[in-house]
Structure 1
Amino acid sequence: MIYFAHRGASARRVQNTLEAFRLARRLGASCYELDVHLTQDGQLVVHHDYSLLATAGKDAKIGELPWAQLRRCALQNRFDGAPAFIPLLQEVLPVVAPGLELLNIELKNDANCYPGLEEKLLKLLAGEYAELLSKTLFSSFDYDTLLRIRKLNKNARIGLLTRSFDVSKALDLQAESVHLNYTRFSPATAEECHQNGLKTYLYTVNDISLAKRLQQEGADGIFTDYIDLFVSEH
């Protein structure tokens, strides 16, 4: 069973921040999940929402702001009130690299709102962080985004992130895994995936007993906000 630190140690620190990933690593994480967007001036940044409204109280979208402005947008911190900011992907990668087993990068690119995102991401990983490329799993709810990843790199590791399971889509992508909300998962889903050489990774699971049941039903991994609970159990 694989345990992904979902947006870092997001139950303990502001999600998708350097602090969240640093804590996850200290807690023993070796697998991580994060989300990537493009700024107005083409910088790869790590954040979940397209908008800053819920996370920073600012009615603006990431794609509308240049990095110089975005980096000054303080995120709301319900944990300790310490300053927290959106990081560049190239700031996060050195944090998660030591001992890394698997990094799931979710590309936020619905309707190709960030033209060129896939190419920029692959170029960054193939260049300065080449040692991480083989340990990176690319996922997205946007199917065309994953098709572009596959077209750009025939060896890219792809995970089909979906709300409606269709094994044929995963096979067409030459994906290695299917990512589902755990409430949409069943033993039959796991069986169909395994028969086709696919793993199943489920989100977001924060209860140990639930995780054990899902594992018994055939799940291969979970995304969790409480990575410390599962690393200690493992």
Structure 2
Amino acid sequence: MMKDFTLQIIGHRGASFNAPENTLSAIQLAWNLGIKKAEIDVHLSKDYQIVVIHDENTKRLTGKDALVKDQTLAELQDLSVCLKTGVDKIPTLKEVLETIPIESTLIIEIKCGKEIIPILEREVANYSFDALVFISFDYEVISEVKKSFPNNKSLWLLDLDYTKETEKEYVGIESILKKTKQANLDGINVWAGKIADKNFVEAVKTANLLLYIWSTNSVELTKHFLKLGADAVTTDRPKWILDQL
């Protein structure tokens, strides 16, 4: 009997290899392809609306050099996301939440500070605990998120050896696990690098924590991390990876 890997593959910014990242097109495509978990990034606009975009600046995605936090929602949604698949808009979190199918999970990466939490509480109030997972690189932010959403899974994002600079900042798995437990977090979400080796994964699993991996489009790496015991792997090509598995 073939193993079902559906719950272990996360669509990075939607199905972002085939549609503009973090747009309704990319997110809806992921769901339409049968992907059960999709990840998005959120910022706050000038008028305190939660918008779905990765960068703090809109230039890479839209061509306009402006900070998200300095633009109103209307100004942001007036911009076109022009990539190879055509024209799209920067969506709101509300718009993305409405797309989530039954028994699917949206993973929300918080790219700004704690000021987003009260607005987040209002916007996701009607969604089940299983439908939403929170992640952030900012330890203070994800710790506060866990306090506000104790029943939702919250994971601390870590660069590890993503760059030479971040590799120098690596403090060791024991310190990471200690801080993760102190904040009552459910796990960590780590870069698919060499630091996340067999011993690293075993330490996380022994601590009864979730381990997500970001982000790879390699079938070999995906298989490697799932075999080691990772709970999920994030990829721009979720359907293609699933088909290869």
TM-score by length of 1: 0.90
Distance 1:151 1:65, change over 3 A: same
- In the alignment, does 2:107 pair up with 1:101? no
Counting only pairs closer than 5 Å after superposition, residues 13-162 of structure 1 correspond to structure 2 as 13-77=19-83, 79-80=84-85, 82-95=86-99, 97-109=100-112, 112=113, 116-126=115-125, 129-131=126-128, 133-162=129-158
The 8 Å contact of residues 158 and 173 in structure 1, kept in 2 or not, is answered as no
Structure of greater relative contact order (alpha carbons < 8 Å, 6+ residues apart): 1
The 8 Å contact of residues 107 and 140 in structure 1, kept in 2 or not, is answered as yes
- Output the CA distance in 2 between the equivalents of 1:31 and 1:51: 26
* Cα deviation digits, residues 52-106 of structure 1 (max 9, x gap): 12111111110000011110111231x23x21110011111121x2134322110
1:169 to 179, 182, 201: 179
Alignment partner, residue 166 of structure 2: none
- In the alignment, does 2:216 pair up with 1:212? no
TM-score by length of 2: 0.86
* Cα deviation digits, residues 100-126 of structure 1 (max 9, x gap): 4322110012xx3xx520121122111
Cα root mean square deviation, aligned: 1.6
- Structure 2: any 5+ residue segments left out of the alignment? 160-169
- Output the CA distance in 2 between the equivalents of 1:175 and 1:12: 33
Q: CA deviation at 1:233?
A: 4.0
* Cα deviation digits, residues 143-180 of structure 1 (max 9, x gap): 11112112323323211111245111111121222101
Give the 3-state SS of the residue equivalent to 2:88 in structure 1.
coil
Q: Percent identity?
A: 28
Distance 1:107 1:124, change over 3 A: same
Q: CA deviation at 1:11?
A: 0.2
Specify the code of the residue in structure 1 equivalent to 2:119: K
In terms of mean alpha carbon deviation, does 216-225 or 61-70 score higher? 216-225
Q: What is the number of equivalent residue pairs in this alignment?
A: 224
Give the 3-state SS of the residue equivalent to 2:98 in structure 1.
helix
* Cα deviation digits, residues 190-211 of structure 1 (max 9, x gap): 1111111112111111111221
Specify the code of the residue in structure 1 equivalent to 2:201: A
The 8 Å contact of residues 143 and 185 in structure 2, kept in 1 or not, is answered as no
Displacement over 3 Å in runs of 4+: none
- Structure 1: any 5+ residue segments left out of the alignment? none
The 8 Å contact of residues 156 and 185 in structure 2, kept in 1 or not, is answered as yes
- In the alignment, does 2:191 pair up with 1:181? yes
- In the alignment, does 2:10 pair up with 1:4? yes
